[in-house]
Amino acid sequence: MRSRYSAYVLGLEPYLLASWHPLTRPESLDLAGAAGTKWLGLEIRRQQQADDAHASVEFVARYRVGGRGHRLHEVSHFIREDGRWYYVAGEERSIR
């Protein structure tokens, strides 16, 4: 999760796509369109490994766009294949 957050901060589209599971991976990302986004921090709230191949991470990412602060609260789901974890999907949550 931390590496994917860092990739968003640095605009590393190839890494994000490579760490996305092929079944849910988009064909491309438009991080250039988010050039005005300033990432401010990542808080991992909970991590849970269901078994050897499935895990989830609940996090809050703070960012600013056009001088206005925002938070993304999500539970991300991961699957491990061939010893490597892949992002599958995320569920947005309301901020508490």
Question: What dotted CATH number matches 2-92?
Answer: 3.10.450.50
The domains of the chain are located at: 2-92
Distance of alpha carbon 12 from alpha carbon 2, whole angstroms: 13
Summarize pLDDT for 49-65 with one digit per residue, the tens: 999 999 999 999 999 99
**Backbone CA torsion sign across 18, 21, 22, 25:** negative
* Model pTM above 0.85: yes
Distance of alpha carbon 16 from alpha carbon 13, whole angstroms: 5
94 — pLDDT class (breaks 50, 70, 90): confident
Distance of alpha carbon 67 from alpha carbon 11, whole angstroms: 19
Instruction: Give start and end residues of each alpha helix (H) in the chain.
Output: 2-10, 13-18
